[in-house]
Amino acid sequence: MIGIIDSGIGGRGIEVEIKKLLPDVKIEYLADTKNFPYGTKPVKTLHEILSKNIEKLIEKGAKVIVLACNTATVSSVKYLRKKFPNVSIVGVVPAIKPASEKTKTKNIAIFATPITSKSAYQKKLIEKYCRGINVTKIPFSKLAQEIESNDIIVAKKDIQKTWIKFKNRNIDAIVLGCTHYTLIKKDIQKIVGPKVKLIDSNSAVARQVKKLYNNIS
């Protein structure tokens, strides 16, 4: 069995990609709406919340567990892998490397939650892969909540209001650094325009899950 953890519906996009690759494998999706959003929680609190959720999935027989949340991954994946060495934990991090490879203008942006935007993990990814590339970090404090609540009209207005400040920076690639954002990818594309590539980690995570699951099976 494969387990997926997110604070709501954000990880559903990853679930879809995993089902394409492993259609016959049971998937247990743990939507932790009680603790939504993860993006505003202190790191220590996230450690505790995620540990309990992983324990639940292990009890149900999960062999591979996906932290389908960029915030959860950048804050807690190292801690959780050390605490639960007998289960494979797959994290989701902003797709900065592929964005750096696809940009032609050498200007990229990262849409993310405030915690992910400020994280040391994301900073290291930028330092590693973005030499000679201008990176604009664009945090959204309420966007995940708006998508979770299905307030798509409000979400689109939020993005439009924010993007207008950055659209003249010659940005040609945007990293969707929150799994919730991938659920309205088509809406975001319309706002930023067809010349801007939107890049997320969903398919890459699914491929890693398949690799690990097949090795265990």
- Over residues 108-140, the pLDDT tens digits come to 999 999 989 999 999 999 999 999 999 999 999
Indicate the Cα dihedral angle 73, 78, 81, 84, nearest 10°.
Answer: -100
- Examine domains 2-92+202-216 and 96-199 and report if their fold is the same: yes
- Copy the structure tokens of residue 50: 């995620």
Per the structure block, which two tokens stand in for 209? 């899950």
Name residue, tokens 């999706």: 29
Q: Does position 198 have pLDDT exceeding 80, yes or no?
A: yes
C-beta neighbour count of 176 within 10 angstroms: 25
130 catalytic? Reply is no
Q: What CA–CA distance (Å, rounded) separates 38 from 50?
A: 10
What confidence tier does 97 reach under pLDDT thresholds 50, 70, 90?
very high
From the candidates 30, 69, 125, 147, which is the catalytic residue?
Answer: 69
Residue whose C-alpha is closest to residue 53's, from 39, 42, 36? 36
User: What are the extents of the domains in the chain?
Assistant: 2-92+202-216, 96-199
Average pLDDT over residues 79-92: 97
CB 3 within 8 A of CB 30: yes
Tokens 């097949």 sit on residue: 214
Full-prediction pTM beyond 0.75?
yes
pLDDT in tens, 160-192: 999 999 999 999 999 999 999 999 999 999 999
Q: Which CATH number fits domain 96-199: 3.40.50.1860, 1.10.3720.10, 3.40.50.2300, 3.40.50.720?
A: 3.40.50.1860
Task: Write down the pLDDT at residue 204.
Answer: 95
Per the annotation, the verdict on 69 as an active-site residue is yes
Distance CA 16, CA 4 (A): 11
Chain centroid offset of residue 130 CA: 19
Which residue's structure tokens are 């994301």? 122
- CATH class as words, domain 2-92+202-216: alpha beta
Q: Yes or no: say if 77 and 47 are a contact pair by the CB < 8 Å rule.
A: no
pLDDT tens digits, 6-58: 999 999 999 999 999 999 999 999 999 999 988 888 899 999 999 999 999 99
217: pLDDT strictly greater than 80: no
Catalytic-role residue among 178, 184, 192, 209:
178
Q: Report the C-alpha gap between 37 and 148 in whole angstroms.
A: 9
